[in-house]
């Protein structure tokens, strides 16, 4: 019999009704069993991963992709530990977020419920299989996992460990479904199943996210890019500014919460930019500078709008001197990707104005953009970062994998 | 110069930055001025409406559509009063929904912010122009209004009153933009402007909603239909059940929170259905009954799956006898539109089980489905009812026109 993604989706939807009503205790016991299974089956998982690795080398996959694909004993233990960590997080399902007794005696409340069926579409990292499955499951959802073809054998082995845990607790295996066929046509069909799938979460490069958005009517959590700005105000503490600038640009340039543009108030440019130039020279950061700031840097080139729009994800930055706070805000509003923006200032009025005026997902005062992360902001684990404002905006934890229903309790109430 | 919807959308986006930072006080004063203007300009508005009415009659529009189009002195006063009412509602913008001091001393909070630019696409009711504009504005959003061509003259006159109020407070007129050209191609272009428009709210028939969803990549608030169920359990109080059944089906059958299907436990069918039959005969409700319940009704026909799936919006109902609570839940899960479901029972365990198991937007115990409405549930005003789970689920008030951002305040914090 050939594989049918439509059948898998219907069965996952049925399983979602079961997962939605599991107690927190049961869900946590399942997660602990998944973790134990992963560690117990590590030899089998590593053997499957070896097949993927061999195929990847034969197919001349990029070095960075091969590293993402690789599993080791240590990586499996880390994956298992993160499942245990998810078991320790509070369960969002059933949380009462509002309750009131209406004038007519009706009792109204709002309660958190699972979204239903979430489809994860991702690339070569096998750890996403376990991560996404655990987060969706803890939030009471069923999930359809569609990983990249490079990781198929690894994913099948990981899913096997997961399914053994589900079976032990009499939970339908389709609570966590893995698409066993990496054919692109099957993925395209998955994107059309809006009756069965409540949410799509693509995890990977911008092309993947754009492809999923363009080809589906199902809501998509989008995270296109992070063009994070640091604005150093004339009342900024330049020591803090430098520390935060270096942390934001140099510590881990390849991630979305790293800095891509530095805006400096003209009154502090003369004092600040020479230090910046020396520091960036030391860290080999390539600079694209505006006309006014260009003279401070050796080997910098003139910044264009393309630079202000760029997510370099590398040791590379755009720098601009602004005449005023307002010019900084206007620049940010024009080029912002809606991810994270930072102001460095000691002026409390300006800090509050910045918080009011900037509506990116994360707005920061005197802190590094690198904190823009679900774990760092106290959400526990993170399923993604949304840069579209609907449903969730910014780092998404377990709560973002749920919605709210109204519960109304009467005693024979009718409307007049 | 020809009209450009792209220009209008860009200007609306710019205006959104202004609206987002207005104080509650200013927004309320603008709303009160809009209300005063509408009443002061009623002669001009009625004259414009007369043009629409004459064209509608010439074009042989349906009677129901003509009634929706009609404005009267009284209707204008009612519209103006509803704007004043929106001014009295609490402002969701700036609401801090979470705040915590993280272990490293960072102060993290979540604050409600406007969505940005909302595009409303609606049909012939001119009151939607004022209603939607006021709700979006109060929640700090700019709005693009695209009403039906039948109501264009009325809408232009209403927008004129609104714009005079905005001008008085030096707010860019594009804070509330009305598309002055009802050409369908212009609407189609609006659906593509995902860089400028954050949310689409279609208000009208299922065809309109489906058209907007199929033709746009912008998030859409969907409200396809309300197939609301009433389940009368064997431990249900049949007196309450009858009152709630009649209220749900007969009071206002044309709205989405009216009842469409009655499920009755077999143990009470013999006692309950004869009374139902007599009552429905009196109210001339047409019945589609399952095989077992068919004998209780005169002139009923046999219900098919099409009946269980139907949103009759008329004095018409599907009835089914179920063998158990579980059968009722299974039926609801299969045919639910995600709108509202009601259980009639005195059994507290079963009531709680129903609340846990049914994940429609509104779940009720011993109360009429007719309460499933933003105003009735204490949200103040309602911009729509969402039956898709993302972003908002169920009746949507002002809060649903906002999202949340993270605000992080440090003192030179960097990530280790």
Residue B414 lies in a domain: no
The CA distance from B79 to the nearest CA of chain A, in Å, is: 22
Do A239 and A330 reside in the same domain of the chain?
yes
The CA distance from A49 to the nearest CA of chain B, in Å, is: 32
Nearest to A394 among B240, B391, B405 (CB): B405
Cβ neighbors of B411 (< 8 A, separation 6 or more) are A240, A366, A367, B105
Contact in structure between A197 and A308 (CB atoms under 8 Å): no
Question: Angle of helix A73-88 relative to helix A24-40, nearest 10 degrees?
Answer: 170
Please give chain B's pLDDT, 416 residues, in tens.
689 999 999 999 999 999 999 999 999 999 999 999 999 999 999 999 999 999 999 999 888 888 889 999 999 999 999 999 999 999 999 999 999 999 999 999 999 999 999 999 998 889 999 999 999 999 999 999 999 999 999 999 999 999 999 999 999 999 999 999 989 999 999 999 999 999 999 988 888 999 999 899 899 998 888 999 999 999 999 999 999 999 999 999 989 999 999 999 999 999 999 999 999 999 999 999 999 999 999 999 999 999 999 999 999 999 999 999 999 999 999 999 999 999 999 999 999 999 999 999 999 999 999 999 999 998 988 898 999 899 999 999 999 999 999 999 999 999 99
Q: Report the SS3 class of residue B4.
A: coil
pLDDT for A180: 96
Do A233 and A218 reside in the same domain of the chain?
no
pLDDT for B64: 80
Nearest to B214 among A217, A367, A378 (CB): A217
Q: Report the SS3 class of residue A191.
A: coil
- How many structural domains is chain A composed of? 2
Between the two ends of chain B, the Cα-to-Cα distance in Å is 57
Beta-carbon pairs below 8 A across chains A and B: 210
Quick: pLDDT tens for A231-282: 999 999 999 999 999 999 999 998 999 999 999 999 999 999 999 999 999 9
Find the residue in A nearest to B108 (Cα): A377
Q: What is d(CA B360, CA B266) in angstroms, rounded to the nearest whole number?
A: 24
Do B178 and B282 reside in the same domain of the chain?
no
Nearest to B414 among A243, A388, A408 (CB): A243
Do A327 and A403 reside in the same domain of the chain?
no
Nearest to B368 among A217, A407, A414 (CB): A414
pLDDT for A1: 64
Query: What CATH number should be reported for the domain holding residue B314?
Result: 3.40.309.10
The CA distance from B54 to the nearest CA of chain A, in Å, is: 36
| CA neighbours closer than 13 Å in the CB half-sphere of residue A208 | 18
Residues of A in contact with B399 (CB under 8 A): none
Q: What is d(CA A411, CA B5) in angstroms, rounded to the nearest whole number?
A: 51
Instruction: Say if strands A394-396 and A384-386 run parallel, antiparallel, or are unpaired.
Output: antiparallel
Find the residue in A nearest to B335 (Cα): A195
Do B25 and B131 reside in the same domain of the chain?
yes
If pLDDT is split at 50, 70 and 90, which confidence band does A224 have? confident
Q: Do A366 and B413 touch (CB under 8 A)?
A: yes
Do B252 and B279 reside in the same domain of the chain?
yes
Contact in structure between B258 and B313 (CB atoms under 8 Å): yes
pLDDT for B205: 82
Contact in structure between A31 and A77 (CB atoms under 8 Å): no
The CA distance from A179 to the nearest CA of chain B, in Å, is: 24
Residues of B in contact with A334 (CB under 8 A): none
Q: What is d(CA A112, CA A401) in angstroms, rounded to the nearest whole number?
A: 10
pLDDT for B1: 64
How high is the ipTM of this complex? 0.93
Q: What angle do CA A396, B396, B164 make, to 5 degrees?
A: 110
Find the residue in A nearest to B360 (Cα): A405
Do B135 and B272 reside in the same domain of the chain?
no
Among B133, B213, B149, which Cα is nearest to B383's? B133
Mark B211-243 as b/e (b = at least 16 C-beta within 10 Å). bbbeebbbbbbbbbbbbbbbbbbbbbbbebbbb
Residue B233 lies in a domain: yes
The CA distance from B89 to the nearest CA of chain A, in Å, is: 16
Q: Do B377 and A411 touch (CB under 8 A)?
A: no
Q: Do A219 and B243 touch (CB under 8 A)?
A: no
Q: What is d(CA A89, CA A131) in angstroms, rounded to the nearest whole number?
A: 14
Query: What CATH number should be reported for the domain holding residue A54?
Result: 3.40.605.10
Find the residue in A nearest to B10 (Cα): A334
Do A135 and A212 reside in the same domain of the chain?
yes
Nearest to B410 among A115, A116, A366 (CB): A366
Task: Indicate if the pLDDT at residue A179 is higher than 70.
Answer: yes
Q: Where are the alpha helices (DSSP H) in A89-183?
A: 127-138, 152-168
Residue A183 lies in a domain: yes
Residues of A in contact with B404 (CB under 8 A): 393-394
pTM comes to: 0.92
Among B248, B264, B61, B41, which Cα is nearest to B163's? B41
Do A65 and A194 reside in the same domain of the chain?
yes
Which tokens sit at A414?
A: 């009718």
Containing structural domain, residue A233: 228-371
Average pLDDT, chain A: 95
């Amino acid at each position: 019999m050939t594989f049918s993604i439509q059948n898998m989706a219907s069965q996952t939807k049925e399983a979602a009704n079961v997962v939605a009503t599991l107690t927190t205790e049961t869900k946590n016991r399942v997660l602990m069993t998944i973790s134990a299974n992963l560690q117990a089956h590590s030899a089998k998982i590593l053997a499957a991963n070896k097949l993927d690795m061999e195929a990847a080398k034969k197919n001349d996959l990029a070095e960075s992709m091969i590293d993402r694909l690789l599993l080791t004993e240590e990586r499996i233990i880390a994956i298992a530990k993160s499942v245990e960590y998810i078991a320790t997080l509070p369960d969002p399902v059933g949380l009462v977020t509002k309750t009131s007794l209406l004038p007519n005696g009706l009792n109204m409340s709002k309660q958190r419920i699972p979204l239903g069926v979430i489809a994860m579409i991702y690339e070569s990292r096998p750890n996403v299989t376990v991560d996404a499955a655990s987060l969706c499951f803890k939030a009471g959802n069923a999930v359809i996992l569609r990983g990249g073809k490079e990781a198929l054998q690894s994913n099948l082995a990981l899913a096997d460990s997961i399914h053994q845990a589900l079976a032990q607790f009499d939970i339908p295996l389709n609570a966590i479904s893995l698409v066993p066929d990496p054919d692109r046509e099957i993925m395209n069909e998955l994107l059309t199943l809006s009756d069965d799938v409540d949410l799509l979460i693509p995890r990977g490069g911008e092309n993947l996210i754009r492809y999923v958005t363009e080809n589906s009517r199902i809501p998509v959590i989008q995270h296109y890019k992070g063009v994070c700005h640091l604005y150093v105000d004339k009342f900024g503490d330049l020591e803090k500014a430098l520390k935060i600038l270096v942390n934001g640009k140099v510590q881990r340039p390849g991630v979305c919460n790293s800095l891509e543009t530095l805006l400096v108030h003209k009154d502090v440019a003369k004092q600040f930019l020479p230090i910046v130039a020396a520091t960036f020279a030391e860290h080999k950061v390539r600079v694209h500078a505006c006309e006014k700031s260009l003279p401070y840097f050796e080997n910098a080139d003139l910044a264009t709008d393309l630079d202000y729009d760029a997510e370099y994800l590398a040791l590379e930055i755009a720098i601009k001197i602004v005449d005023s706070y307002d010019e900084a805000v206007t620049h940010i509003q024009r080029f912002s990707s809606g991810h994270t923006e930072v102001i460095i200032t000691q002026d409390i009025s300006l800090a509050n104005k910045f918080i009011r005026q900037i509506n990116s997902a994360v707005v920061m005062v005197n802190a590094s953009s690198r904190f823009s992360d679900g774990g760092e902001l106290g959400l526990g684990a993170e399923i993604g970062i949304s840069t579209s404002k609907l449903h969730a905006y910014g780092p998404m934890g377990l709560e973002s994998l749920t919605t709210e229903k109204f519960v109304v309790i009467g005693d024979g109430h009718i409307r007049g």
